């Protein structure tokens, strides 16, 4: 193992000790990287709604327990295993949702590694980024250019990669219009920035005036407030220049209803991309409408290593400026409280030194 400087034997972390939470701020041991792994001194980590789903046991997939959550961590590599040749202590790196995969199944072989049957998931099946030192498989950690602002890049590592991939999966082209549902949240605020950078017009859908303001500032051409709208389907259609509705929809919301509405306002031959993961939710759409309007409904799940590099490259070129607030790691439960109530406009990023 090659290491840089002093690596402590203990560190601060937020630990989920039982499903349902809360997290406990405590000292835990620092793990040692295996031969194909790196140890990253996490400086900042974004807080994704997935971390709250993990703590609450919302999904039909068990987490490790006790669990250190978090999967949007940016920091500095402090140690690398003996098989790691292309990363070294001192390099900047990010830990994302897909911490590792088998690298030999058919999906991994064709770089569809999010679909690997044996994934390691940061902050879910392995400890994640709500600690000062976290482990990642070298093949999968995000490469971050020297000089990058680690606070600002952290949300790119899940939210950014995921929405960038979702935009590609939607098949949308520059000049066309996409509806972004949950646009004032963490993924949504990044989606607005990626869409703008790609020359795509975005109709933002979320609730409340603060999120409306944020969406407009982030480049949305229109804002539809799901909490006050009398006829959301019609309002979304009206927001397109020809009234036919958006060419695609990105569903990022953490509630079921918008998943039932999207096929009603998407344009004929349009694509609905499901990304948000509300607990116990189902899709429902009129078969008649889906057939006769030739609607495409699909899912999109994080991104591969190349999507990661491309999403970070957009950021590095100064094209991604999504709003975020920084708070101490020890205050994570307060962030979850606000997130549960839908009160967060943009993203919270935790500082692991506090
Ligand atoms: P967030 O809480 O920051 O944002 C969710 C937003 O949805 C909020 O702004 C909320 O006001 C809005 N919303 C709620 N109900 C709505 C409605 N009816 N219409 C429009 N907007 C509505 O959450 P986030 O961190 O952006 O994550 C969003 C979801 O995406 C979570 O379920 C998360 O687990 C999931 N996710 C999926 C992937 C993937 O790869 N598919 C990756 C990351 C996150
Ligand atoms: Zn996430
Ligand atoms: Zn695999």
Q: What is the pLDDT of residues 254-291, one digit of tens each?
A: 999 999 999 999 999 999 999 999 999 999 999 999 99
- Please give the average per-residue pLDDT across 240-250, as a whole number: 97
* Mean pLDDT rounded to a whole number for the chain: 97
Say if residue 148 is in the same domain as residue 167: no
Choose the residue to mutate in 45, 53, 122, 187 for probing ligand 1, maximizing ligand atoms within 8 Å of C-beta: 187
> What per-residue string of b and e applies to 9-29 under the rule 16 or more CB within 10 Å gives b?
eebbbbbbeeeebebebeebe
140 with 39, same domain? yes
The CATH number covering residue 264 comes to 3.40.50.720
Q: Which domain holds residue 126?
A: 2-156+303-351
Q: Verify that 6 and 120 share a domain, yes or no.
A: yes
Q: Do both 140 and 184 map to the same domain? A: no
Among 283, 236, 254, CA closest to 186: 254
Token duo for residue 182: 């949950």
Are 108 and 128 in the same domain? yes
Q: How many structural domains is the chain composed of?
A: 2
Whether residue 212 sits in one domain with residue 316: no
Ligand 1 atom closest to the CA of 205, numbered from 1: 20
Same domain, 50 and 192: no
Q: Are 175 and 116 part of one and the same domain?
A: no
Residue 5 has pLDDT above 80, yes or no: no
pLDDT digits (tens, 9 = 90+) for 60-99: 999 999 999 999 999 999 999 999 999 999 999 999 999 9
- Domain co-membership, 219 together with 249: yes
Pocket of ligand 1 (CB under 6 A): 48-50, 53, 158, 162, 181-182, 184-188, 205-207, 211, 226, 252-255, 257-258, 275-278, 300-302, 339, 342, 344
CA distance 338 to 326: 14
């Amino acid at each position: 193992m090659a290491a840089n400087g002093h690596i402590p034997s203990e560190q601060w972390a937020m630990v989920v000790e039982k499903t349902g939470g809360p997290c406990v701020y405590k000292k835990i041991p620092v793990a040692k990287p295996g031969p194909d792994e790196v140890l990253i001194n996490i400086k900042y980590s974004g807080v994704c709604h997935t971390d709250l789903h993990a703590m609450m046991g919302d999904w039909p997939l068990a987490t490790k327990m006790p669990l250190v959550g978090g999967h949007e961590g940016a920091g500095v590599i402090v140690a690398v295993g003996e098989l790691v040749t292309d990363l070294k202590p001192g390099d900047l790196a990010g830990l994302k949702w897909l911490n590792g995969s088998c690298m030999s199944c058919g999906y991994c072989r064709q770089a569809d590694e999010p679909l690997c049957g044996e994934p390691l998931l940061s902050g879910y099946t392995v400890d994640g980024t709500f600690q000062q030192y976290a482990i990642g498989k070298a093949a999968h950690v995000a490469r971050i250019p020297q000089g990058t602002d680690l606070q600002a890049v952290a949300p790119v590592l899940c939210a950014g990669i995921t929405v960038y991939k979702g935009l590609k999966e939607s098949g949308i082209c520059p000049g066309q219009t996409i509806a972004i549902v949950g646009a004032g949240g963490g993924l949504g605020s990044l989606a607005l920035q990626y869409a703008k950078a790609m020359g795509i017009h975005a109709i933002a859908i979320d609730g409340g005036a603060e999120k409306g303001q944020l969406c407009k500032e982030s480049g949305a051409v229109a804002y539809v407030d799901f909490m006050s709208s009398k006829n959301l389907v019609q309002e979304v259609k009206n927001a397109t220049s020809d009234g036919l509705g958006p060419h695609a929809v990105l569903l990022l919301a953490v509630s079921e209803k918008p998943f039932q509405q999207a096929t009603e306002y998407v344009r004929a031959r349009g694509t609905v991309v499901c990304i948000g993961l509300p607990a116990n939710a189902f899709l429902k759409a009129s078969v008649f409408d889906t057939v006769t309007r030739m609607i495409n409904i699909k899912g999109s799940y994080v991104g591969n290593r190349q999507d990661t590099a491309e999403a970070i490259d957009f950021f590095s070129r100064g094209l991604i400026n999504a709003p975020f607030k920084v708070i101490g790691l020890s205050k994570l439960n307060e962030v979850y409280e606000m997130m549960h109530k839908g009160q967060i406009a943009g993203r919270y990023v935790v500082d692991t030194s506090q």
